[in-house]
Structure 1
Amino acid sequence: MLFAFGGGFVGVPLLYRMLLSSHGADDGVAQSAMHIAVATSTCVMIVNALMATGKHRRAGNLIRHYLWPLGGYIGLGAIAGAVLAMAVSGEAMRYAFIAYLALTIADCLMRRGFLEQGDTRAPRCLRRLEITGGLGIGAMAFAVQTLGSLLGMRLASPWIGRIPDRRHARVYIGLLVLVR
């Protein structure tokens, strides 16, 4: 959890492989393995996001008028994603996950300010692209891996702020490449 990473990029492939290996190819669980893995990861993300939002709210770090519009778009995206996920095959979900992972790696490498210190400009209003991004974020499915995630957060919390930003960013990209 120190790298905002684990429940999804590590957990999805791990749970997918575990479900495939523990059930026969004709078994319904194996055929739905990718759906189950993504849904589980999404539930963990929801719990983690709620906890992080609560901490940031208590610390006074949130811009309130951004929250409800963004939350609404994420909710709409979650509904659309759940409907779409039920309509596609597990194989299509797997390739979509691989594409998402590749895009994340590319974004990390090309986004200005990710590997270097970002600027300190004042926040601005949400744009259509960011609203669409909120819909995309919410478009993932649902389920339960929360206990391990909470434990990971607890174990990682003493390290937050102690690792230099540049090293943190490089290790994050290395972890993304490793799980790919």
Structure 2
Amino acid sequence: MLTSFLVLLFFGCLTGVTAVLFGFGGGFVTVPVVYGVLTATARPGTGADAMHIAVATSAAVMVVNAVAAALVQWRAGRLLRAYVWPLAGFIAAGAAAGSFAATLIGGTALRLLFAAYLLVTITDSLFREGFLTTAPRRVPRPLGRGTVTAGGFGIGLVAAGLGVGGSVMTVPLLRRRGLPMAEATATANPLSVPVALAATLVYALAPTASAATGRLGYVDPTACAALLLGSLPTIAVARRVTGRVPDRVHSAAYVGLLVVVLMVVAVGV
């Protein structure tokens, strides 16, 4: 039990860093970690639902991480309101649908979808122009109506279903609109809040969740506490680094982290 708590605490620290530097809010880190801890400890009532519990717990952690990181970025003046609203509203609508659909999908299928999602994102970031580099002094372009409505709903649908917050879709989107990496990742944090909140509510109230002592639906409060105990202090520390990382290094590190997570998920699949 102590070992599991320390593992979650350590990776909680990592989620704090990724929340500020990459806008992840923790999903890409917490989903495979919580899944691994649950399957390794084989706690009663968690075996069959391990992936659902991991996704649900990840969403609950992201609510706090994304809000905390968004406040840090707002105080630093990096949030761009025009790119946050009304996109966030359509993301919230898609998130409610996506998280409900995920409660009806088997754990193995959910892991395969998670891995496929990572692979597509990595490939797109590496081979489609506009993510790893942006033209000097490029003027940011506004989001189109279709991107805000249908695109926002799609982001929420996929992100909440997989418990990853949505930054893996919003950061490349904003990047290709001409935003520097620091501003794109900063703006991804408030856009992750509606995804995480909608997903947490649906998973916590899911009628398909098996009854287990100490759980709220699919959400594991103990794992949440351990992860947040590590993440919140590191969010305060990581804010001092944001903005000092060169744009090219920042974008390459973003893709590199996705590759690492894909490898971890692939081993579990």
For the pair 1:172 / 2:249, whether they are aligned, the reply is no
Counterpart CA distance in 1 for 2:228 and 2:141 is 32
**Superposition pairs for residues 29-48 of structure 1, below 5 Å?**
29-48=46-65
Q: State the Cα deviation string for residues 82-140 of structure 1 (Å, max 9, x = none).
A: 21011111111111111111122112213422211256334424332443332233231
In the comparison of the two structures, how many residue pairs are matched?
177
**Superposition pairs for residues 14-25 of structure 1, below 5 Å?**
14-23=33-42
Query: Mean Cα displacement is larger for which, 14-23 or 50-59?
Result: 50-59
Partner of 2:178: none
**Superposition pairs for residues 83-162 of structure 1, below 5 Å?**
83-118=100-135, 120-139=138-157, 140=160, 141-142=199-200, 143=219, 144=224, 145-162=227-244
Counterpart amino acid of residue 70 in structure 1: L
Residues 5 and 69 of structure 1: CA distance in aligned 2, closer, same or farther (over 3 Å)? closer
Q: How far 1:5 moved relative to its partner?
A: 4.0
Unaligned runs of 5+ in 1: none
Counterpart amino acid of residue 103 in structure 1: V
Residues 108 and 152 of structure 1: CA distance in aligned 2, closer, same or farther (over 3 Å)? farther
- Provide the TM-score with structure 2 as the length reference: 0.57
Query: Mean Cα displacement is larger for which, 105-114 or 76-85?
Result: 105-114
Partner of 1:81: 98
Counterpart CA distance in 2 for 1:153 and 1:70 is 25
RMSD of aligned Cα (Å):
2.6
Counterpart CA distance in 2 for 1:135 and 1:85 is 15
Counterpart CA distance in 2 for 1:127 and 1:63 is 16
Is the 8 Å Cα contact of residues 43 and 146 (structure 1) preserved in structure 2?
A: no
Counterpart CA distance in 1 for 2:150 and 2:138 is 24
Structure 1 runs (4+) greater than 6 angstroms displaced: none
Unaligned runs of 5+ in 2: 1-17, 161-198, 201-218, 263-269
Partner of 2:88: 71
Partner of 2:23: 4
